[in-house]
Amino acid sequence: MNTANDLVARGAQRHKQGKVQEAEGLYRRALKLNPNHPDAHNLLSVALRARGAVAEALAASTRAVALAPGHPLMLANHGAALAEAGQLPEAITAMQQCLALAPGDATTWRNLGQALAAAGRPADAVGPLTTATQLAPAMAEAWLALAHAQRESGNAFAARAPAARALELSGRDKGMAEQARFLLAALGEAETPDRAPAAYVRQLFDTFAPRFDAELEGKLDYRTPALLAEALLAAGIPAEGVLDVLDLGCGTGLSGVALAPFARRLEGVDLSPRMLEAARARNLYAALHEMDLLAFLPRKPAAWDIIAAADVLNYLGDLAPVLAAMRAALRPGGTIAFSLETGEAVPFALGEGMRYRHNPAHVLGLAEAAGLNLLAQTPVTLRQERGQPVAGALLLLRC
């Protein structure tokens, strides 16, 4: 006969073999027999988190810690589920409680560091991440997170060695190698690639999503969407809700809010599912697409009256492919509107902030080659970064 314990043990075995779906089924059967089985709730939460069912995972981990208070493993998993759900202060507390009981848990030290960094406290993340690398010297992700925390707390020099270590340890993990190389490039220690790795952008904005709006509109004084809308109006484009508008890199939809008055139909594209979730909640977009913008643009040729990219092209280095793709997706007489972070270097430079800067004159040359003409160019301050204004430009182009 199958007892709840048997089912949980079999589930854990399947789980270890990577058969997560089967494991989930076994945990659920165990919970039918014993709805108060803490291990079943705990392991179910881990399985749910693995397939991105964030809210359900959190409900299961909450149940597990309620049934087995003070259990370090359950606190660790609960902390991870809270972090996934963007509840960072609660995640940090759960992880700290876990580590007080189980100070040798390298994964939770890493998760704690990542949660602190995600909460905008990179300097506080350095200690936990250093501990993680000491306890698990082969954990590439902890080295990479440590390098980012050092860089974000203004210590670029100290970021170099952990970034190099992450690259050495990446082995067959191509995504990890690409991310470590990208960071090393931003630190001036490797060749600059043509674009930011998609996995890096996705992870960055998934992590940032819960505090994106408050941070950008609050302390970073982010005005790019409003400035782009002003530039469109000044160029004589009517805000009368009659145009088909594509918001590239729509994020949480701050740009959608500014573009909506122009749109009969507004669609958004973004790499980050978490940013898209927030955008969806605004009920502004007729459709949202979780895709790389370069893959999305060719899907609908000559379809858009406005293609906008607010604070997005700074994640691409070589702008020739995106300009050509935007040109092909534009309806005759349509307008392309985007912001750039500006610099002198040609063709582009990657800053320590891990974003690309472009020289507007060079970009205009690329635009011309793609069959686009300048409609308007405005120098602007895009936002603040570490108390300093970020210099940029708004470009409006037409075919």
Ligand X SMILES: C[S@@+](CC[C@H](N)C(=O)[O-])C[C@H]1O[C@@H](n2cnc3c(N)ncnc32)[C@H](O)[C@@H]1O
Residues that bind ligand X (CB under 6 A): 201, 205, 224-225, 249-251, 254-255, 269-272, 275, 292-293, 310-312, 315
CA distance 383 to 155: 22
> Six-digit token pair at 180?
């470590």
What's the order of all strands across the beta sheet hosting 243-248? 287-290, 263-270, 243-248, 304-309, 330-341, 388-398, 373-385
- Amino acid letter, 270: D
CA distance 348 to 350: 7
Cβ atoms within 10 Å, residue 161: 13
CA distance 144 to 164: 9
Q: Which is nearer to ligand X, 140 or 228 (CB)?
A: 228
> Six-digit token pair at 327?
């040109």
CB of 232 to ligand X, least distance (A): 14
Q: Which is nearer to ligand X, 60 or 271 (CB)?
A: 271
CA distance 93 to 332: 55
Q: Which is nearer to ligand X, 139 or 246 (CB)?
A: 246
Q: Which is nearer to ligand X, 312 or 354 (CB)?
A: 312
CB of 183 to ligand X, least distance (A): 16
CB of 361 to ligand X, least distance (A): 23
CB of 177 to ligand X, least distance (A): 19
Q: Which is nearer to ligand X, 124 or 292 (CB)?
A: 292
Q: Which is nearer to ligand X, 143 or 356 (CB)?
A: 356
CB of 285 to ligand X, least distance (A): 12
CB of 342 to ligand X, least distance (A): 16
CB of 339 to ligand X, least distance (A): 8
Q: Which is nearer to ligand X, 163 or 275 (CB)?
A: 275
Q: Which is nearer to ligand X, 126 or 269 (CB)?
A: 269
Integer angstrom CA distances of residue 135 from 98, 170, 236, 244? 16, 18, 61, 54
Query: Taken in order 122, 128, 134, 136, is the CA torsion positive or negative?
Result: negative
Q: Which is nearer to ligand X, 304 or 315 (CB)?
A: 315
CB of 321 to ligand X, least distance (A): 11
E-strand spans in the chain? 243-248, 263-270, 287-290, 304-309, 330-341, 349-350, 356-357, 373-385, 388-398
Cis link prior to 298 (omega < 30° from 0)? no
Query: Taken in order 214, 210, 139, 81, is the CA torsion positive or negative?
Result: positive
CB of 310 to ligand X, least distance (A): 3
Output the DSSP codes for 96-143. HHHHHH-TT-HHHHHHHHHHHHHTT-HHHHHHHHHHHHHH-TT-HHHH
Q: Using alpha carbons only, how large is the chain's radius of gyration in Å? A: 23
